[in-house]
Every structure is written in C-alpha cells, then in structure tokens.
Amino acid sequence: MGFEYAAGRVAMLKNHGDWMPLGNADEQKPAAPGTVEAWARSEDNPVGGWYGVKKGFRGRFANYVPPVLEALGLAEVEHNARNNRMRAL
C-alpha cells in the first residue's frame, strides 16, 4: 500500500467526521453507497477509480486496508462479527 492510498483514505475519513461502514464486497458485487468500499471504487478517490488494477484482485479494499491503517495508528476499526465501521484518529 502506497502513501497516497493511506493519505487519501485518512483524509476522506476526516472529512466524513464520524464512523463509516466498511461495506466489504467482492469485485463482482456492487458496493453499498456511503461505505469505505464504495469510496475505494469511486472515480472521486485519489487514484480515480478502483484501488487495484488487475481484474480478479480488485474489490475487498474495505477488508484489507482498514486494519493496516489501524496498525499505523491512523484509524480506529471496529472488530465485530459483522457490519464493522472505521473512523480517522
């Protein structure tokens, strides 16, 4: 994960200002609006679309990146069985 990914993600969370649902979804399934996964697929994010360029390896951004941001001390992530959320620190 490059710095621009982490910086863009944290900036978006700070602008959001509250907990945001992760919304994990496979590449073949649509991401729920207003979720971390939807942002990762949006043309409005810093990379202008999908985080991940190879078909079959895109999607599930909300599954893998939030724990990294949490480990770096940049975000707080819930650890429930389902419907987890995150927010910037």
What string of pLDDT tens digits covers the 89 residues of the chain? 456 666 777 888 898 889 999 998 888 888 899 999 898 888 888 878 777 667 776 767 778 888 988 999 999 999 999 999 999 99
pLDDT the model gives residue 41: 85
8 vs 84: CA distance, rounded Å: 20
pLDDT the model gives residue 5: 61
pLDDT the model gives residue 27: 82
pLDDT the model gives residue 57: 67
pLDDT the model gives residue 64: 83
For residues 37-56, one letter each, b for 16 or more C-beta atoms within 10 angstroms of the residue's C-beta and e for the rest, the string is bbbbbeeebeeeebbbeeee
Other beta carbons within 10 Å of 87 = 15
What's this model's pTM, rounded to 2 decimal places?
0.83
| Residues contacting residue 43 through CB under 8 Å, at least 6 positions apart | 49
pLDDT the model gives residue 1: 47
